[in-house]
Structure 1
Amino acid sequence: MRSGLVQLGAWTAATGAAVALSWLGVHAVLVDTVFEQPVAVQLPSVASSKQGGPAGPTPPVPPPSSAPPSAAAPSPSPDPDPPAGAATPAAAGSSAPARPSATARRSSSPPSTLHSYPMLGGRVALDVRATEARLVSAVPEAGWSMQVWHGDQWLQVNFSKDDRVSTLMVSWNGTAPNVQTFVVGN
């Protein structure tokens, strides 16, 4: 009996020491971690429709003028050379086209609208534009499987579980996108 109590005591001490050591290791890693609530990030298509519509022509002019000062902080030597001399406009041109191409994309892309479709078995988010639709996300619920098919002028998302299939179909063959949802099965 005494031998069993000694073994139990040794096991308890070893287990307690292992738990304490593990906790100290985890605590040392997590002590500097800050946990924040998730923040919804604005999608580029939504931002482009807000910025590109009313202020599309005006913002492209200010960002290039404000871009060299912001670029001057990270790399002071390349920035003073482009304004001072004409020998390095290629360097300035390489940084400048990045911003105009982004602004050109914003101003040239038609406004888009994001639509979320809650369905039996999951949720589908689409970026529906005047002449096309794009899949943003499709998330199945627990226990459901998902399949996605797409072509040049159509898109289909299926959520299936057992004998039930929930389908979202979008077609835009030269017309505005047409979204249809239906359920097959019990």
Structure 2
Amino acid sequence: MHETPGTPRSPHPARRRLVHGAAWLLATGAAVTLSWWGVHTVMAGTVYDPPQALPVAATQDEPTAKPPVSSSTHRPEPSASASAPSASPSRTSHSPKPTPTPRTTSPSPPPSGSVKSYATAGGRAVFDLKKTSATLVSATPAAGWSVQVWKQPTWIRVEFTSGDKKVSAFCTWHDHEPTVEIADY
């Protein structure tokens, strides 16, 4: 084949594939980065405090709460006849990491609050209600619903949203003991 003097020569098919592949990689990388950034931005606004574990309060029928004799997190105090502790922690084949031994000997006082759960059409809100304040323990939306939380010094609002439907659990304690009201709108 003869080339005419004014006709540009077409690039090799391998070079063309390389250019197309590089363009595809750049476009895909940009799309993934943009998508990740968008999801990250949306999710950053929905973060709320993680749930806190609360100790179980003693019932009024029990005069004093006694610490458990043994459990998975509490080990009995060693007796005087026990051998001296070793300088390095012992490891067993079942547990790769040593478990810490609690050093407290007296039980912690029971909490002054009461953990209450409120189920709504949009999800479940759990509050720890004390005499003069309240804290949000958790806010779990139902399937197809989202949750948003607002906190102020004298109130907490948990709002579940799905399309045009909204349900709020509104906990207030200004000049009174904490109360929770559920509103659908």
Give the TM-score taking structure 1 as reference length. 0.49
Greater helix share, structure number: 1
Which of the pair has more CA radius of gyration?
A: 2
Give the TM-score taking structure 2 as reference length. 0.49
